[in-house]
Every structure is written in structure tokens, then in C-alpha cells.
Amino acid sequence: MRILVGRLKIGLDSYLQPQTAYSDDALGHTVLWLLFIGGLCSVGHPERPWFAAHVGRVGGMLGLKRWQDVRNRQIQCFYVEDPLGHPLESVWRQSQALHE
């Protein structure tokens, strides 16, 4: 799993340059979803803070300020409440703590 997480991080890095701005569109929310998946899969690994930091940055660019906002938007895309709700919320909470 760690190899896949590392490759996801490398792959996303080119999309996450500081000058990149995300709007409320499919690309922005797909990038956010991939960051959440990376954060979920990297629990207990050094890559977790990287994913959490970018979840907060991209989420902020998309105008998402609270977990409820994220959840409501992700339900429209790929989000499944029951198995993913609490683990993804933990990634969001860590992202917010990193930005405080």
C-alpha cells in the first residue's frame, strides 16, 4: 500500500503547484477526492501530513470550510457515507489543524 500511496503523491504533485487554483468543478473535486484517498491510505505513514495539508489547501480553494460542506459535495461525486465517513472526516480534521 505504501508504494501506491507514494506513487499517488508523486502523481498529484504536478497538479498541486502553488499557482494552481481550483474551482468548483469536476477536476477540483476529483483532485480533492484523490487527496482524501491518499490520506486515508497513509494513516500511520509519513505521507499522511502531506495529503492532509493538501486536502485543506484544495478544499479551501473550492470554498469548503466545514466537514459538512465537504461531505455534501463529495456525496455528489464518489463519496459513500457508511464505510468512509469517519475515516475521511479524520483526514479533514487533520487538514484543518495543520492550517490553524
Q: pLDDT higher for 14 or 42?
A: 42
Residue 39: per-residue pLDDT: 93
Q: What is the pLDDT of residues 44-88, one digit of tens each?
A: 999 999 999 999 989 988 889 998 898 888 777 665 555 555 777
Residue 41: per-residue pLDDT: 92
Q: Alpha helices of 26-80 — where are they, by DSSP H? A: 26-41, 48-61, 67-75
In a domain, 69, yes or no: yes
pTM of the model: 0.76
Residues 40 and 88: their CA atoms lie apart, in Å, by: 6
Per-residue pLDDT at 24 exceeds 80: no
In a domain, 64, yes or no: yes
In a domain, 18, yes or no: no
Average pLDDT across the chain, whole number: 83
Number of structural domains the chain divides into: 1
- Expressed as residue numbers, the domain containing 85 is 2-13+23-98
